[in-house]
Structure 1
Amino acid sequence: MAGRLAGKVAVVTGGSSGIGQEIARRLAVDGADIAVADVLPADDTRELVTSTGRRFFSDKVDISDEEAIQGFAGRVRGELGAVDILVNNAAVVLLSDVDHVTYDEWRRTFAVNVDGAFLTSKAFLPALKESGAGRIINISSSSYWTPPPVAVSYVSAKGALNGLTSVLATNLAAHTITVNGVAPSLVRTAVTVATMSEEFFAQVEQIQDIRRVQMPADVAGVVAFLASDDAAFVTGQIIAADGGATRR
């Protein structure tokens, strides 16, 4: 049975693992062919996507490098055709408060989390306009509304990404391109498990209405909705997929 994204091509940045990998898998399950841009190999994601019968392409790309992401966009078109869906998921997470964060750390966080989303959106904009129903989905964070004290560059960058989401939605509406964000809570991935204590996971659970750890599939389901025709009249929104944490 064809999925609701059948015939679509989706790009997921940072899709080699974690949230990005699950987004790629879910969009493939829903029928989309998948391209992944990441600085790490995406072999595991390739296996997950191709097992659904969908086509897959990946390349090692630093999305903060304009020339590199423009080249990637051309290669994706050559391999899979014009892109309909762009998920700006790649991110750098640096845990420092304002007293200890360096300017280099600050700039690197913004270079990937904000500049990368901007450059990638620009690179794929011609294809998204061709689509007639283009989708840009930016992965934000509920930490923008409930900021921990040790993530000054990360939270600031996610705030800027929210602003980019809003203005792109206005800029691109005439091209029938919707632009939205998804803001999860603390998601259990290999990276967060390696950097966060179980005590911290438990603390986050306690500020959520839904008292369990968030998993990548919880984010991917919302992305799949926003990528589909069911969300054709949703744009400029930051959806807090965070178990109710930010409304408490």
Structure 2
Amino acid sequence: MTHSKHTFDNQLVLVTGGARGLGEHLVRAFLREGARVVINYFKSSDAAAALAAEAPERALAVQADVRDKAAVEKLFAEAQAHFGMPITTVVNNALPAFSFNGDARPHADQLSWENMNQQLDGIVRGSLNTTQAALAGMRELGFGRIINVGTNLFQNPVVPYHDYTAAKAALLSLTRTMSQDLGPDGITVNMVSGGLLRTTDASAATPEAVFDFIAGATPLRRVTTPAEFADAALFFASPWARSVTGQNLVVDGGLVKN
């Protein structure tokens, strides 16, 4: 595999949940660096179409529920047919319906297995589906990049979102075990973990006082933005990370030391 194959202009990047929130910033970051990008969306068709229209030669919006294995396989086939190459890089960002509202979260005594399953289904099953759908194309190229979006909440559960955090912790485990399994194929698997981001659709319910509290406790004295997070995610897809796999990079202004 030549060094040039690692560069962004040779990559076809899938961003799940790419139409809005953090996903939109991830899409924009990869487009800015010259990659081709598949913007996966579940319900946000207008936002996905508008984003794709900003770079019509290099972006394609494709609807799929990442929990649905057949739908994900269809997305991969559609992307390959459109761009004439397999997806090389998968960013597992899609988030099942969830609001970062500490007051509305299920507390310890109300937490149901349905709450847990809903998050596991979206976060872990979704990422497993995309990873498995990517393997044939990545193996054919001898190159692949899987980037999972995590959270710093399992190191610092400042708000105990039990269901969301458990699913992300399972995804960290899958990041490590998949990196072990797929390394011989030239496929790296890493995680980028943010804290509270200022601001995404998911964190819109967070009170200003919480943002201010987090900022005050953070070494950089501010809450990380989605654009800053997206820039850090680029590292794992870049040539500079070609020998990095199975890692979890925390991007939160230094709040959590990993």
TM band (smaller chain): over 0.9
1:97-112 matches, within 5 Å, as: 97-112=107-122
**Alignment-derived partner of residue 11 in structure 1:** 14
Question: Are 2:183 and 1:173 equivalent residues in the alignment?
Answer: yes
Task: State which of 40, 58, 79 in structure 1 corresponds to 2:61.
Answer: 58
SS at match of 1:245: coil
Instruction: Percent identity, please.
Output: 28
Contact 2:197 2:224 in 1 (8 A): yes
Task: State which of 209, 226, 229 in structure 2 corresponds to 1:219.
Answer: 229
- Structure 2: how far apart are the matches of 1:159 and 1:121? 17
Question: How far has the Cα of 1:159 moved from its partner?
Answer: 0.6
- Structure 2: how far apart are the matches of 1:21 and 1:69? 19
**Alignment-derived partner of residue 128 in structure 2:** 118
Task: State which of 163, 188, 197 in structure 2 corresponds to 1:187.
Answer: 197
Contact 1:17 1:42 in 2 (8 A): no
- Structure 1: how far apart are the matches of 2:245 and 2:189? 5
**Alignment-derived partner of residue 229 in structure 1:** 239
Name whichever of 118-127 and 142-151 sits farther off: 142-151
Contact 1:46 1:56 in 2 (8 A): no
SS at match of 1:247: coil
Question: How far has the Cα of 1:43 moved from its partner?
Answer: 4.1
Task: State which of 198, 206, 219 in structure 2 corresponds to 1:209.
Answer: 219
Contact 2:21 2:202 in 1 (8 A): no
- Structure 2: how far apart are the matches of 1:54 and 1:187? 30
SS at match of 2:40: strand
Number of residue pairs the alignment of both structures matches = 246
**Alignment-derived partner of residue 163 in structure 1:** 173
Q: Which runs of 4+ in 1 moved over 6 A?
A: none
**Alignment-derived partner of residue 88 in structure 2:** 84
- TM-score normalized by the length of structure 2: 0.89
Deviations 1:180-223 (A, max 9, x none): 00011101234244311001111111221111121111111111
Question: Are 2:57 and 1:40 equivalent residues in the alignment?
Answer: no
Question: How far has the Cα of 1:70 moved from its partner?
Answer: 1.5
Contact 1:96 1:150 in 2 (8 A): no
- Structure 2: how far apart are the matches of 1:118 and 1:193? 25
- TM-score normalized by the length of structure 1: 0.92
1:62-77 matches, within 5 Å, as: 62-77=65-80
Contact 1:97 1:149 in 2 (8 A): no
Question: Are 2:245 and 1:240 equivalent residues in the alignment?
Answer: no
